[in-house]
């Protein structure tokens, strides 16, 4: 099974994690335009290649982590200084 | 119940070599080779319409452009081979028992086109109307089914909620005992549903479109779309550039990449869906069985193999590699439904790419770029909609306006907030 390296728990099976998607910024609802808000709600990046994305270790330490992954192959690219 | 006859296209395909029983016997006796079903062409420098993606949706659109509207200067380009994407990776289940009135009307039109497709295309597409049964294992699922059944009936669709005793009569191999982890409380039975031979549908449309003058270009990858002053002017491919005023994006898995070439943002993310097939056995399953709670659907092909499908993988990816975790989970869930299958072996498993939209409905029609149309976002429900999507997209191109049957599925619904929520009926386990 594909594994993700949790900085707190070490390498764990991917089914312990929840996928949140590419890092994106939530606009301030009181200051944003309608178009910007709809863009935030519906338009998703769908990167074909290497992407930095947020995952949630739901069945583990329940912390959020950033994973760099190639969506073409599901290869996880280790962060700098990471041993694997 | 009675179903009104399909309106027939005004222009029937003048197939050069019609398939028939007499033809089959003659070929068998003389051992002469069958002619090729479609031709290869050099890429011209100009077409009236360029369709990206030679799968079911692209080929159906090309066929209906030629057959219903007489538009034959059409190129269908594909970076791979015909029907090698979602059209060759789905589980070929047809049904129309959706949740929203606009969804039910749309998919029902597709089912009616499928019913007459073999005769229309002169190609055996092996439509098997065996009925479609969705199981409910909890009160919430049963409640949604009652809702779906009533929406279906109002739209004239044969669809009803049945109890475990009726389910046992329909599918004796199902475990309907009440002491299981997920007891069967009821089911939504939809007799018009069934399965079809998916490759035959693709090949039938390709053959008919080819005979009408449409050019299908395989191994021709689109590398760019030229847009000048907000209007499409051409398409760049690995085999040369094409000048055209109309481009239709009929891809699955690559719909965001192609749309980005024209500068159109799509509310689409791509995830794989895995499926598997067993060794063939004697016919015993005469109904398509679906369980949303157990994330599985099962049908038996004419060859006797059991086809299993699942829900989409829980993260975005373009990888079509299967996983052992999927095969294990699938086998466990199938055995919860039908314990008698414990001795069966899987032959192979595969994955296809599903373009998911926020409301689990497709996106069809024009975009902000003049001449760039989309027929994308087909998630896990694209195959059953191929004929009606092709018919409606052809109508859109020929008439210049969006026909009523797809008016609710436009890209603009995400800015106007008129979403078509089909999450409760689109597939399993979303």
Give yes or no for a contact between B74 and B64, defined as CB atoms under 8 angstroms apart.
Answer: no
> Measured between CB atoms, does A33 come within 8 Å of chain B?
no
C-alpha triplet B286, B147, B110: angle, nearest 5°: 55
Tell me how long chain B is.
Answer: 430
- Partners of A18 on chain B (C-beta within 8 Å) are 314
pLDDT category at A52 given cuts 50, 70, 90 is: very high
Q: Which residue has the tokens 């178009």?
A: A35
Q: What is the pLDDT of residue B16?
A: 57
**Residue A82, pLDDT above cutoff 60:** no
Q: Establish how many alpha carbons lie within 13 A of residue B127's alpha carbon, considering only the half-sphere containing its beta carbon.
A: 19
DSSP character string of A45-74 = ---SSEEEEEEE-TTTT--EEEEEEETTTT
Token readout for A30 is 């009181």
Token readout for B371 is 């001449």
- Partners of A43 on chain B (C-beta within 8 Å) are 265-267, 414
* Least Cα separation, residue B412 to chain A (angstroms): 11
Give yes or no for a contact between B51 and B389, defined as CB atoms under 8 angstroms apart.
Answer: no
- Residue B415 to residue A41, Cβ atoms within 8 A: no
pLDDT tens by residue, A6-35: 989 999 999 999 999 998 889 999 999 988
Can you tell me the distance from the alpha carbon of B379 to that of B267, in angstroms, rounded to the nearest whole number? 12
* Least Cα separation, residue A7 to chain B (angstroms): 20
Q: What is the pLDDT of residue A79?
A: 65
Residue in B184, B180, B149, B181 with CA at minimum distance from that of residue B167: B184
Q: Is the dihedral of CA B195, B74, B39, B219 positive or negative?
A: negative
Can you tell me the distance from the alpha carbon of B219 to that of A37, in angstroms, rounded to the nearest whole number? 40
**Residue A56, pLDDT above cutoff 90:** yes
* Topology adopted by domain B132-192+269-356: D-Amino Acid Oxidase; Chain A, domain 2 (3.30.9)
By CB atoms closer than 10 A (0-12, 13-18, 19+), residue B378 is: buried
Can you tell me the distance from the alpha carbon of B298 to that of A31, in angstroms, rounded to the nearest whole number? 50
> Measured between CB atoms, does A83 come within 8 Å of chain B?
no
Can you tell me the distance from the alpha carbon of B59 to that of B208, in angstroms, rounded to the nearest whole number? 9
Q: What is the pLDDT of residue B217?
A: 97
User: pLDDT truncated to tens, each residue of chain B (430 aa)?
Assistant: 344 444 444 444 445 578 889 888 988 999 888 888 899 999 999 999 999 999 999 999 999 999 999 999 999 999 999 999 999 999 999 999 999 999 999 999 999 999 999 999 999 999 999 999 999 999 999 999 999 999 999 999 999 999 999 999 999 999 999 999 999 999 999 999 999 999 999 999 999 999 999 999 999 999 999 999 999 999 999 999 999 999 999 999 999 999 999 999 999 999 999 999 999 999 999 999 999 899 899 999 999 999 999 888 889 999 998 888 889 999 999 999 999 999 999 999 999 999 999 999 999 999 999 999 999 999 999 999 999 999 999 999 999 999 999 999 999 999 888 888 887 777 655 4
Show which residues on chain B lie within 8 Å of chain A, measured between beta carbons: 254, 256-257, 265-270, 314-319, 321, 323-325, 358, 414-415, 417
Q: Which CATH superfamily hosts domain B43-122+198-267+359-416?
A: FAD/NAD(P)-binding domain (3.50.50.60)
- Any idea where the domains of chain B sit in the sequence? 43-122+198-267+359-416, 132-192+269-356
- Any idea where the domains of chain A sit in the sequence? 3-25+33-77
Can you tell me the distance from the alpha carbon of B425 to that of B145, in angstroms, rounded to the nearest whole number? 9
Q: Which CATH superfamily hosts domain A3-25+33-77?
A: Folate-binding superfamily (3.30.2270.10)
Q: What is the ipTM of this complex?
A: 0.89
Token readout for B191 is 């007799």
- Partners of A2 on chain B (C-beta within 8 Å) are 323
**Residue A74, pLDDT above cutoff 80:** yes
């Amino acid at each position: 099974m594909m594994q993700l390296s949790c900085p707190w728990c070490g390498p764990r099976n991917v089914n312990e994690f929840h996928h949140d998607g590419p890092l994106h910024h939530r606009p301030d609802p009181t200051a944003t335009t309608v178009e910007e808000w709809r863009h935030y709600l519906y338009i998703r990046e769908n990167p074909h290649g290497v992407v930095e994305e947020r995952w949630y270790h739901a069945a583990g330490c329940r912390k959020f982590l950033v994973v760099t992954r190639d969506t073409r192959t599901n290869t996880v690219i280790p962060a700098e200084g990471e041993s694997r | 119940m009675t179903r009104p006859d399909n309106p027939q296209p005004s222009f029937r395909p003048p197939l050069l070599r019609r398939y028939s029983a007499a033809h089959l016997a003659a070929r068998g006796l003389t051992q002469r080779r069958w002619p090729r079903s479609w031709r290869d062409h050099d890429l011209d420098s100009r077409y009236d319409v360029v369709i990206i993606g030679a799968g079911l949706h692209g080929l159906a659109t090309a066929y209906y452009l030629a057959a219903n509207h007489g538009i034959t200067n059409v190129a269908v380009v594909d970076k791979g081979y015909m029907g090698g994407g979602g059209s060759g990776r789905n589980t070929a289940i047809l049904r129309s028992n959706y949740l929203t009135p606009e969804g039910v009307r749309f998919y029902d039109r597709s089912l009616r086109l499928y019913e007459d497709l073999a005769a229309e295309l002169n190609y055996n597409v092996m439509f098997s109307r065996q009925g479609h049964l969705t199981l409910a294992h909890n009160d919430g699922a049963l409640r949604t089914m009652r809702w779906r059944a009533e929406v279906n009936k109002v739209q004239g669709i044969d669809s009803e909620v049945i109890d475990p005793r009726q389910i046992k009569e329909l599918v004796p191999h199902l475990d309907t005992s009440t002491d299981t982890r997920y007891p069967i409380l009821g089911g939504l039975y939809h007799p018009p549903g069934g399965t079809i031979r998916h490759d035959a549908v693709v090949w039938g449309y390709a053959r008919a479109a080819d005979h009408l003058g449409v050019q299908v270009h395989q191994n021709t990858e689109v590398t760019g779309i030229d847009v000048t002053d907000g209007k499409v002017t051409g398409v760049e491919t690995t085999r040369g550039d094409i000048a055209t005023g109309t481009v239709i994006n009929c891809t699955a898995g690559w719909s965001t990449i192609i749309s980005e070439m024209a500068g159109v943002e799509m509310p689409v993310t791509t995830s794989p869906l895995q499926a598997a097939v067993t060794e063939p056995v004697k016919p015993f399953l005469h109904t398509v069985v679906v369980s949303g709670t157990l994330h599985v659907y099962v049908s038996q092909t004419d060859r006797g193999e059991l086809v299993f499908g699942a829900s989409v993988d829980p993260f975005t990816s373009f990888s079509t590699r299967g996983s052992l975790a999927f095969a294990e989970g699938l086998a466990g869930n199938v055995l919860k439904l039908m314990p008698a299958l414990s001795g069966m072996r899987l032959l192979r498993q595969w994955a296809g790419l599903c373009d998911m939209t926020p409301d689990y409905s497709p996106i069809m029609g024009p975009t902000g770029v003049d001449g760039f149309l989309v027929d994308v976002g087909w998630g896990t429900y694209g195959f059953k909609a191929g004929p009606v999507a092709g018919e409606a997209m052809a109508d859109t191109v020929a008439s210049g306006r969006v026909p009523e049957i797809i008016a609710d599925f436009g890209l603009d619904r995400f800015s106007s907030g008129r979403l078509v929520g089909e999450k409760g009926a689109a597939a399993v386990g979303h």
